[in-house]
A and B are shown apart, each in its own frame.
Chain A
């Protein structure tokens, strides 16, 4: 069964705008990670937030975690064409398996 589900499935914005992607999950987690995948490439780790954290920042990325709602969001500020990629959330449960969601396809138009 799918642990993490991203929303929306696809998002198209203009360069300079902010992009927000959401991830919902079903069971308690140890941490939640976000990865980026450019077309035809492997995944790249972006940021990790632990279950006892509520918000983390890394450059233009801001991640929030609401364990009561079992959801997380990834905000990319001042988007660039190079941010065009698929973004995946991955949840780590106490069983220690890292499970990926289906991803959000982000297109940033120049």
Chain B
């Protein structure tokens, strides 16, 4: 079974530029999550989708972050414009049910904002 795929693996941009991350969850997984992990900290939920609907985006900085999940499968997370404090690893995860149990994570995209 293929795991959660994310790209790119690394991204370096200057502040005020825009960037997009892509995620392909495990086939058949209805729930998709985007987490932000700052160095030395635990992952922080940005947004959670159930199929193509948003379940929780209360911690998403909506003035600069946006996310979509087309057709309930792939997802993209965008930052525009980026700030220095957005430097982090962006992790995508998926799970098969609605109960937030046993999440499967991708390897993440490491973003550096200069």
Interface residues of A (CB under 8 A from B): 4, 31, 33, 35, 40-45, 48, 88, 92, 96-103
Contact = CB atoms under 8 A, between A and B. Distances in A.
Given A42-B93, A42-B105, A43-B105, A97 B42 contact: no
B13 interface: no
Contact of A97 (B100, B101, B107): B100
B56 A92 contact: no
B41 A102 contact: yes
Give the interface SS of chain A, mostly helix, strand, loop or mixed. Answer: strand
Interface string B41-54: 11111001000000
A89 B73 CA distance: 28
Contacts of A43: 43, 91, 93, 103, 105
B71 interface: no
A100 B93 CA distance: 13
B contact residues, range: 20 to 34
A92 B42 CA distance: 15
Contacts of B56: 96-97
B4 interface: yes
Given A43-B43, A88-B42, A98 B100 contact: yes
Given A33-B101, A43-B105, 12 more contacts: A42-B4, A42-B93, A42-B106, A43-B43, A45-B104, A92-B99, A92-B101, A96-B99, A98-B100, A99-B45, A100-B43, A101-B42
B101 A48 contact: yes
Interface centre among A42, A48, A103 (most CB of B within 10 A): A42
Interface string B69-107: 000000000000000000000010100000111111111
